[in-house]
Amino acid sequence: MSNVVLKNVTKIYDKKKVIDNIDLNIKDKEFVVLVGASGCGKSTLLRMIAGLEDITSGEIYIGDKKVNNVHPKDRDIAFVFQSYALYPHMTVRENIAFGLKMRKVDKATIEKKVQEASEILGLGEYLDRKPKQLSGGQRQRVALGRAIVRNPKVFLMDEPLSNLDAKLRVQMRSEIKKLHEKLQTTFIYVTHDQTEALTMGDRVVVLDKGRIQQADSPEEIYNNPANTFVAGFVGSPQMNFINSEHFPNIGKENVILGIRPEKMITGGEIKLTVNVEITELLGSEKIAYFNIGDKKCSAKLSAETEIGKTLELSINPADIYCFDKETGVRI
């Protein structure tokens, strides 16, 4: 079993809680993504699971074993870093094999494991090259290979695609997801990129200020956000937040209304004409930006839509989310 359990885990730096009483149960073979803005605590939490950061209080279990005081090398995890952390003077083969050599694994086993990992990752023809002779995507595969050969219970990945260009990120997202399916091992993946989170995770854990805001499937996170933070963080452009006074007909007072940009013009019964400030063409879509009261809003439309200086919104009441004005919690 390679489940990971966090019980009331807290981390305090300089009298400030950077991880605040986190409870999380990650199932065996699950792909869980920790997502949030910079400084939310996601990387700190991952490093605590790895044993690279001490915890202030709480308990961490990997499998059935409590690992609070277990050295990182004895936790049966593999950590894939943002920077790849490859040795420039070693070949791909030597980089992948390095951890096994340090553990004094016999040469025949090392060679077998390196060959298996290189086949999975498509690195066979690059085994005798140095890192400087590889592309960014190939270097990231080498870092993954070094993790695979250890056959760990849990893979921990800290923003592994952030140094790649946009095209390579899309390709590597797919490769990491396929890798998870092949290995059938628990993956915990950290990113600030909501697209990575929604496309890769079986479950997405949204963090803010060291606290879990919501932990759910990608579909549930997007369609049923727990509060204004989750609703605003997930989705591009972000959800529109509008004071309820601008839509008196819906019968909700003193609340914040949330409407996704793609739901602003659906032929619904709620009508409102707005002045368009700017329009962006994004291939098959157009984004129109405007104000409703003092709130900046947007509408996502097809590229064929003609947009003038004004735009008539037509919103379906069923597409409107309501949030408490004080707490931000969905009501």
Give the domain-ending residue among 201, 225, 249: 225
The range of the structural domain enclosing residue 120 comes to: 4-225
AA letter at 224: N
CA distance 100 to 88: 18
Mean pLDDT throughout 35-52? 96
Structural domain total, the chain: 2
Identify the pLDDT of residue 285: 95
Give the domain-ending residue among 177, 205, 225: 225
Q: Are 29 and 185 in contact (CB under 8 A)?
A: yes
With a CB cutoff of 8 Å and minimum separation 6, the contacts of 71 are 51
Backbone conformation region of residue 16, classed left if phi is above 0, alpha if psi is from -120 to 50, else beta: beta
Q: Establish if 330 belongs to a structural domain.
A: no
Q: Are residues 152 and 296 in the same domain?
A: no
- The pLDDT tens digits for 242-280 are 999 888 777 777 899 999 999 999 889 999 999 999 999
Nearest to 270 by CA among 232, 231, 320: 320
Q: Establish if 279 belongs to a structural domain.
A: yes
Q: Are residues 199 and 310 in the same domain?
A: no
CA distance 90 to 78: 20
CA distance 120 to 179: 8
Q: Are residues 187 and 67 in the same domain?
A: yes
Q: What percent of the chain has pLDDT over 90?
A: 80
CB atoms closer than 10 angstroms to residue 124: 10
- The pLDDT tens digits for 77-121 are 999 988 888 999 999 999 999 989 988 999 999 999 999 999 888
Identify the pLDDT of residue 1: 67
The separation between the first and the last C-alpha atoms of the chain, rounded to the nearest angstrom, is 38
Length of the chain as a residue count: 331
- The pLDDT tens digits for 115-156 are 999 988 889 999 999 999 998 889 988 999 999 998 899 999
